Structures are given as C-alpha cells and as structure tokens.
Structure 1
C-alpha cells in the first residue's frame, strides 16, 4: 500500500466512519426497543420508530459516518476502505455489552481482535487505486460483461430473498435480512465510489454533473441505501446487535471486494502472494466472526433468567 496523501486522507475518513457507524447501531437499537413498547415493532413491519428521538440520533450518527465513508472512497480504493469497517464491530460489540446488556464473552473479545487482524492484513496488501479522470471511465467499467453478469445475479438473488424467503423466514434466520443488505450494499459501494470520484473531479474544476452517468449512479445510491435501511432496521429489531454487526460486516465486505475486483480489476496488477495474503485476511475475519457469534450464545445460556435476553435468544435461532 502506498503512503500518498490521498491514501492517508482515505484511511482517516474510513476510521472516523467506523466509529460513527458502530455507535449508531446502539442508538438505533435503543430507539427500536423503546418504540416497540408502544407500537408495532419494525421486525413485524411497523414504523413507530420514526417517532422515537433516540432512533433519529442513531440515524444522524450513521449518516455522518456514511458521509465520511463516502468521502473516503474518493481518495482510496474500495479494497482498502471497506475492510476498515471492522472497527465498527469493536465499537458496536463493546457498547452493546455495556449499554444494551448483550453480554460479550472473552471469546468475543478474541473474535473482535481477529477481525481487526484480518482487516490489517487486507489493508497492507491492498492494490493501488487506478487513475480515473472522468465518470465516463467508471461507466465503461460498469457496463463490461463481467460486472453486468454480477449485477444481474445480485438483483435476482435479492428479489428472491425479499419476496419469497423474507416473509417466511426473516424472523428466524439472520442471513435473510443481512444477505439482502450485503448484496445490495456491494452495488451501493460501486455507485458510491463512482459518485465520489465525480464529486472530487467536479470540486477540482472538471464538472462531472453534465454527464447522465453521474445522475444514474446517484439514483442507484439513493435507491439501494433506502432498501438497505429498511432491512437493516428489521434485522436490528429482531436479532442481537453484537451478532448482526460482524455478520453484516463479513458479508458486506466480501461482496463489495468481489464486486470491486470484477469492476475495477483490482487483482490484475497484484502478485499471487499478495492475493493469497488478502484471502488469509478474510479467513481470519471469518474466524473472528465465528468466535464472536459463539460468545453471544454462551453469554445468553449463562443468564437464562433475564427476560430481554431470553426473548432474543428465541428469535435468534439462525
């Protein structure tokens, strides 16, 4: 990885984003719990959380984090920025332990550390960003056969999950809601990167908003974000926050880097050893996620008399 000023700016923005986003999970979960006591829960299709100030605090915090994340993509490649979301796992899990009383076992701490170690391995061996001088270049990359096939597959799977499996198994299988968010998230990031590049070039004097491609990417970003927000709320209201965060991170990061590899051909200029190291980083992250998931189960089994945890245990039969 280079040490250019752009990379430094991208890293700082990505780290700040993770801190804000990790905190937002907690505020939104508290707001969802409060709204569920007086109205229809989000997990059952209700929208009473829109009247809860704490939920809006979490929403604003998440927006700030997403803006920082958006800016990071204008300076650094997706393969470098996306894995840094591991920090949000640490923030979310630790705050959930102290604020939401969602107990984090010692194995959960080890799991968080493994997630960070895996992310560091990916970051240190991330490919260099290719030079982009116009949003049209991103558009030509997006309409190449390989990425069009990927987009078609993602849309088909997401539609099947939304209309066939979510109504039947969404309340009992975590991967349904998180899978929809992660799949659509990979398309969101590609569009976000295109839009961030367009804005960066515009601010530098080359107006990119005269091209329809910039507006197309804008529409995709807004549409996908609204869809992700809806299903993320359902997941947060139904399952344990300390489990949602790492699972969502792993799936989202995997799909995003895979999409970036296809669209921007990130691995074409890398050696086999660098690619293998990045794959090892993913295995490390997956191991950390497994430990964190198991630690939550162990903590819940140790405190069966707490009504809040017992109810979530019944829902969290993935």
Structure 2
C-alpha cells in the first residue's frame, strides 16, 4: 500500500520519539543509581528516593517529550507502523551508553543495530494506511467489540495475578514479572493513547470531541496504565540490568501492542497476505537485532570478570559470578558496586 502523508508524519514523530526515549533510559538509570547510593534503598525493593534526584527527573522529562511525540505519532499512523520503530530507541541507548556509561558496543552489536534499522525500513514500506475515523464514539465502538473486551479482560486478570501473586515472590529474581506487567499495561495504554490522540486531532480540526464522555474515559485509562507501567518499569530497571530489561520489554510490549491493535483497529484488514507476512518478518528481523545488540553489549568485557573478581572493600559481601548468570548476595548499600563489577549480560539480585 502507498505511504500516505499521515503515515509520513507518524514515521517522523516516531523517529523523534525514539531519540528522546533512548536517551531517557540512560539518564534515568544514572539517576536511579545515584539515588540508591544516597538513600541506601533501591527502587526495585520499594524505594522512592529517586523522586528527589534531579538527574532522574531530567530523564523523566526527556522520556515525557519522547512519549509526547509518540502520542502524536499514533494519531497519524497505525500502531503496526509506530510501535516497531521503538527499536530505534535501543540503538540510541546503546550509542549513548558507550559514551556515558562506558559500555563498549561490540561489533556484533553494530550488526544488531543494522538489523533493527533494516527491519524498521521494511515495516515502514509495508505498513497499512491509517483508517479514517470521524469521532471518538467510533473508536469506542471498536474498544467495546467482544474480541477486544476479551483481550482487555485477559490482560487485567494477568496483571492482577502478576502483581499480587508473582511480584512479591519472584519479582526480584525473575525479570519477566516486572516487564510482563509493563508490557501488558503498555498494550492497553497505547490503544487508549491512540484513541485520545485521535480525539484531540479531530478537536483541533474543528470537530470537538471533548464533549463526549468517551474521550475522558480514554484519558483516565491512559493515566492509570501509564502510571502503573512507569512504576514497574522503574522496578525492572533498578532490579535488573538494562541489557536484560530492554530487549525483553521491547519484545513483549511490541508483540502485545500489535496484537491489541490488530484486534481493536483491524490494521490488517484490506492488506494482502504478502504485506502481512512482510510486516511479521520485518518485526522478527527487528527483534533479532534487538536481542543481538543487548546480548553482545559488553561481550568483550565479561570474560575478564569471570572467576577473577576480588572484593573492592572489606565491607562488600560475597559475589558469585558465572558465565550464565550472577547470583549477587550483598547489602543494599553495596548494590551499585556490584552492578559495576559483575558482567552486564545476566544479573539476578537476591
């Protein structure tokens, strides 16, 4: 299908969004570390000292700008086009990490970047046209169709199970718990953001949608989902290494968002089987590049640390580092030292 002007606007906004969001991950990570060093309580175990850390707020503001651009992008282009482009934020994050966090980008990581860019280009070429929507009530009818209500109900049930059953027991040892909550809520937030963005777009065009209660319902859903999503994303980033969180979060979030969009907005209706297959394959290419980028992130550094770690101070507890994962046993005030010393490929905090 042709690449429309609306798709082009959404594409440019998605690129800008990736730049800001990629930078925000690095800034927020440094802010979380600094806050934990000062307070001795990490966000991953329930600490909120990062709220008083200026660097964390800079990262949050940067993320808000990126999300705002993403918000507008969804008003112009389908989620099938906008969401996979989020992989480009990982490239931005990897490049900035090399300069700010001194994390060396391996040659295979560069290949991962190329795969992300290649897959994103294919997604853009084969993306469906944004369907014309005349009112928020039309979107509401899409959101209340039985198939999407079944999806929403399933997401809510899974989130409650993860939050109240798995999070207390396994949240700090299994990265899938926190990232799963973020991804599930994120898929609903994107659908609500698209609905709200379209409503505001129509309002600015002279067709006031603010008079309809559906607009405010979508606004409430956006606020609820985003707050929950950010809370558990902070926990995931502070508990596990960014090299683990980012690809898992991206894969789960993008897959669930595309699924939700296909169900609610029927993005693939009218597309040929060839275009749909091309989009799926392009997503797999982007996902492969994302995983390759993060798996090889500190590949050259990690061998020198395996089995050769000497405690930096008498107060540090025992660290057990291995090739497949690190079981870190330490006091909270020593967390930052352990995070710097052990390989970034696989980390579990106990």
Instruction: Give TM class, smaller chain.
Output: over 0.9
> What residue number does 1:24 align with?
24
The answer to which of 223-232 and 152-161 deviates more is: 152-161
What is the distance in 2 between the residues matched to 1:167 and 1:311?
A: 25
Larger relative contact order (CA 8 Å, sep ≥ 6): 1
The answer to which of 93-102 and 151-160 deviates more is: 93-102
Question: CA-to-partner distance for each residue in 1:213-261, whole Å, 9 max, x for gaps?
Answer: 0000000000000001101111111222233223222221111111000
Q: TM-score, normalised by structure 1?
A: 0.94
> What residue number does 1:207 align with?
208
Change (3 A) 1:317 1:284: farther
Tell me if 1:310 matches 2:341. yes
> What residue number does 2:313 align with?
none
C-alpha contact (below 8 Å) 1:186/1:259 kept by paired residues: yes
What is the distance in 2 between the residues matched to 1:187 and 1:159?
A: 14
What is the distance in 2 between the residues matched to 1:61 and 1:190?
A: 22
Q: TM-score, normalised by structure 2?
A: 0.86
Give 1:91-110 correspondences, 5 Å limit.
91-110=92-111
C-alpha contact (below 8 Å) 2:187/2:260 kept by paired residues: yes
Unpaired runs of 5+ residues, structure 1, are: none
- In the TM superposition, residue 285 of structure 1 has moved relative to its aligned partner by 2.2
The answer to which of 77-86 and 4-13 deviates more is: 4-13
- In the TM superposition, residue 290 of structure 1 has moved relative to its aligned partner by 2.9
Greater fraction helix? 1
The answer to which of 16-25 and 112-121 deviates more is: 112-121
> What residue number does 1:12 align with?
12
Q: Residue 296 of structure 2: SS of its match in structure 1?
A: helix
Unpaired runs of 5+ residues, structure 2, are: 310-336
- In the TM superposition, residue 34 of structure 1 has moved relative to its aligned partner by 0.3
Give 1:47-58 correspondences, 5 Å limit.
47-58=48-59
The answer to which of 43-52 and 89-98 deviates more is: 89-98
> What residue number does 1:37 align with?
37
C-alpha contact (below 8 Å) 2:110/2:293 kept by paired residues: yes
What is the distance in 1 between the residues matched to 2:341 and 2:172?
A: 15
C-alpha contact (below 8 Å) 2:84/2:120 kept by paired residues: yes
Give 1:137-176 correspondences, 5 Å limit.
137-176=138-177
Number of residue pairs matched by the alignment: 318
4+ runs deviating over 6 angstroms? none
C-alpha contact (below 8 Å) 1:74/1:200 kept by paired residues: yes
> What residue number does 1:186 align with?
187
> What residue number does 2:241 align with?
240
Larger radius of gyration, structure 1 or 2? 2
- In the TM superposition, residue 300 of structure 1 has moved relative to its aligned partner by 5.1
- In the TM superposition, residue 297 of structure 1 has moved relative to its aligned partner by 6.4
C-alpha contact (below 8 Å) 1:78/1:257 kept by paired residues: yes
Change (3 A) 1:14 1:231: same
Q: Residue 298 of structure 1: SS of its match in structure 2?
A: coil
C-alpha contact (below 8 Å) 2:3/2:129 kept by paired residues: no
Question: CA-to-partner distance for each residue in 1:285-318, whole Å, 9 max, x for gaps?
Answer: 2322332342146345234258533357597249
Change (3 A) 1:311 1:42: farther
What is the distance in 2 between the residues matched to 1:297 and 1:175?
A: 22
- In the TM superposition, residue 197 of structure 1 has moved relative to its aligned partner by 0.6
